[in-house]
Copies of this chain bind each other. A is one copy, B any other.
Amino acid sequence: MKIALAQLDYHIGNFEGNLQKMLAMVGRAKSLGADIICFGELATCGYPPRDFLEFDDFIRRCNASVDALKAASADIGIVVGSPSRNPELEGKDLHNSAYFLYQGEIRGIQHKALLPTYDIFDEYRYFEPARAFQTVEFKGKKVALSVCEDIWNVGNENPLYTICPLDEMMPDNPDFILNISASPFDYAHAALRIHTARANVKRYKIPLFYANHVGAQTDIIFDGGCLVLSPDGMVFDEMPYFEECLRVYDLEEVLQGGRSAEQPKEKVKLIHDALVVGIRDYFRKLGFQKAILGLSGGIDSAVTAVLAAEALGPGQVRVVLMPSQYSSGHSVEDARQLAESLGLQYDILPIQPMYTAFETSLQEIFAGMPFNVTEENIQARIRGTLLMAMSNKFGHILLNTTNKSEMAVGYGTLYGDMCGGIAVLGDVYKTEVYALARYLNTLPLGKSGSMGVIPIHTIQKPPSAELRPGQKDTDSLPEYELLDQVLYQYIECRQGPRELVRMGFGEDLVVRILRLVNMNEFKREQAAPVLRVSAKGFGMGRRIPIVGKYLS
């Protein structure tokens, strides 16, 4: 028996696009002799569809796609994820289901039992969990069909859940497991996924075929990494990350095992590749071609510009240098050098005329009050307004360049440098931005294929917002090396003040940092969506009350 896994970039709500893509893959899989082809979880509508699921019309369209695939299943089994209506009056209206289609019929349907409702997930908001489990018969084999999370509670070892769906199916003696997933990327996730897949295979001693999504849906990125595991626990195949892929596997060969074909997992490269896909899909799925961003000569905008050039092509990225009276001369030079070596169109728009106009206008009202963060913010907001004006006039999307450390402690101006359609580095700590810059400088990204596009000075100089004379980030923040460690423990690991002090961080430092994080929730509430590359990014995955007085 031959089993095809399709690793596809679905688009939420784009029913026709998703269907045509799947039908094309059905054709290819048939031509390659496949008996079954597997698509991803909720592949008809894309993942996560969120509250679109509350519209009957949306579900009707999902069902229409299932019908179209059913019609294409005359001589190939098609496994596809789609919402299905819960026929029971009691409980939520929908199930999150895996359909097994063959010969124009629904041969089996298995609902998801374990509904993730943490981090970015809200599945209990929409779906009723499965209460019944049974395998699907196909060409003399029994298939244990499952949806995503249902393989993540191996033998009930995951404390979140109280049931292990595959344990329930084992009395049927299935021949292999098919899992259709929409499992979002973070830089540690692929290793965890293999660990979990292996735990299933070791427990059940049958092969596992795992089909995932690839591509980005606004903030949420899927890396693909479709998996085939042999009963010996070895990774028979792992598809390349961040690209669409179709491969056909011979069940007999998979059963034999003895083959190890894992993808390399290097953190900086994974983050890099994820961000490139995140940018590219944001533009493609919204129907935009060109990006615009402000280039300051600092490292965040430099890294963002390089990533955008990779994602969209240098001809599709326009940058603007907007020096103020506080900008150092080398900043403009560094920015210009980067634009030129990447081959980006750039403009230089000094902000002094606008700044003077605001200063004059507010002179009387601000009489006698000293220069403070107000004037710094005015500069940042003039830049935001210039960039948005060009964005509006030319139909480009503004890329936001704020990093995760800044976003965490509120070191940025709302409606100023926090403007943008998508925050490219919003889930990348400052120290990781440096690692990304060094990595980018090993790639041949220069106009002439040269390496080292980011000027060394941009990487080496002390970080500064350049909004007042001689300003450095460390004037108001701890060193990033230390700050990022505390932030990581607090945000990713949910360690509280007591635990942080016990880890050896100074109490004053901890109190100060946690207070900054919590009192700046109002800024993050209005921030651009953040490309998620860690296990805990800002946005839907982290829900904190604004008026909360906790640690603030």
- Looking at A48, A390, A414, A540, the one whose CB has the most chain B CB atoms below 10 A away is A414
B-contact 0/1 string along A352-379, CB 8 Å cutoff: 0110111011100110010011100110
Residues of B within 8 A of A14 (CB): 549-550
A48, closest chain B residue (CB): B545
Q: Cβ of A415 and Cβ of B419 under 8 Å apart?
A: yes
Q: Cβ of A547 and Cβ of B281 under 8 Å apart?
A: yes
Q: Cβ of B356 and Cβ of A549 under 8 Å apart?
A: no
Residues of B within 8 A of A527 (CB): 526
Q: Cβ of A389 and Cβ of B377 under 8 Å apart?
A: yes
Task: Enumerate A490-547 residues with CB–CB distance to B below 8 Å.
Answer: 494, 496-499, 522, 525-529, 540, 542-547
Q: Cβ of A414 and Cβ of B385 under 8 Å apart?
A: no
Residues of B within 8 A of A55 (CB): 494, 496
Q: A13-B551, A358-B389, A365-B393 are in contact. List 11 more A-B contacts (CB 8 A).
A: A12-B548, A12-B550, A48-B545, A50-B545, A52-B545, A54-B494, A90-B159, A124-B125, A281-B547, A349-B365, A372-B392
Residues of B within 8 A of A528 (CB): 525-526
A545 to B218: give the CA distance in the assembly, Å: 7
Taking A11-B549, A12-B550 as contacts, is the C-beta distance between A358 and B381 under 8 angstroms? no
Interface size class of A (residues with CB under 8 A): 35 or more
Separation in Å of the A312 CB from the closest CB of chain B?
Answer: 15
Contacting A12 at CB < 8 Å: which of B282, B353, B549?
B549
Taking A349-B362, A389-B378 as contacts, is the C-beta distance between A12 and B545 under 8 angstroms? yes
* A243: Cβ under 8 A from any B Cβ: no
Separation in Å of the A121 CB from the closest CB of chain B?
Answer: 8
* A89: Cβ under 8 A from any B Cβ: yes
A152 to B77: give the CA distance in the assembly, Å: 44
Separation in Å of the A520 CB from the closest CB of chain B?
Answer: 12
Separation in Å of the A306 CB from the closest CB of chain B?
Answer: 23
- Looking at A160, A374, A543, the one whose CB has the most chain B CB atoms below 10 A away is A543
A351, closest chain B residue (CB): B361
Residues of B within 8 A of A544 (CB): 50-52
Q: Cβ of B357 and Cβ of A386 under 8 Å apart?
A: no
Task: Enumerate A7-43 residues with CB–CB distance to B below 8 Å.
Answer: 11-14, 17
A283, closest chain B residue (CB): B547
Q: Cβ of A543 and Cβ of B91 under 8 Å apart?
A: no
A368 to B231: give the CA distance in the assembly, Å: 68
A52, closest chain B residue (CB): B550
Q: Cβ of B361 and Cβ of A354 under 8 Å apart?
A: yes
Separation in Å of the A222 CB from the closest CB of chain B?
Answer: 13
Residues of B within 8 A of A117 (CB): 117, 122, 124-125
Please provide the 3 A-B residue pairs with the shortest distance between their CB atoms, ordered closest to farther.
A13-B550, A57-B496, A14-B549
A372 to B161: give the CA distance in the assembly, Å: 55
Q: Cβ of B415 and Cβ of A385 under 8 Å apart?
A: yes
A420, closest chain B residue (CB): B526
Q: Cβ of A218 and Cβ of B57 under 8 Å apart?
A: no
A124 to B128: give the CA distance in the assembly, Å: 12
Q: Cβ of A393 and Cβ of B369 under 8 Å apart?
A: yes
A-B contact pairs, 17 of them (CB 8 A): A11-B547, A12-B548, A13-B551, A46-B545, A56-B494, A90-B159, A122-B122, A122-B125, A124-B124, A358-B385, A372-B393, A374-B393, A377-B392, A378-B385, A385-B385, A385-B415, A540-B543
A364, closest chain B residue (CB): B347
Task: Enumerate A445-467 residues with CB–CB distance to B below 8 Å.
Answer: none
A377 to B415: give the CA distance in the assembly, Å: 13
Contacting A374 at CB < 8 Å: which of B389, B496, B498, B550?
B389
Q: Cβ of A361 and Cβ of B373 under 8 Å apart?
A: no
Taking A415-B419, A546-B218 as contacts, is the C-beta distance between A353 and B357 under 8 angstroms? yes
* A82: Cβ under 8 A from any B Cβ: no
A542, closest chain B residue (CB): B51
Contacting A384 at CB < 8 Å: which of B285, B415, B497?
B415
Q: Cβ of B543 and Cβ of A51 under 8 Å apart?
A: yes
Residues of B within 8 A of A52 (CB): 544-545, 548, 550
A161 to B88: give the CA distance in the assembly, Å: 11
* A138: Cβ under 8 A from any B Cβ: no
Q: Cβ of B353 and Cβ of A361 under 8 Å apart?
A: yes
Task: Enumerate A211-246 residues with CB–CB distance to B below 8 Å.
Answer: 216-218
A91, closest chain B residue (CB): B162
Residues of B within 8 A of A540 (CB): 543
Taking A122-B122, A547-B218 as contacts, is the C-beta distance between A160 and B361 under 8 angstroms? no
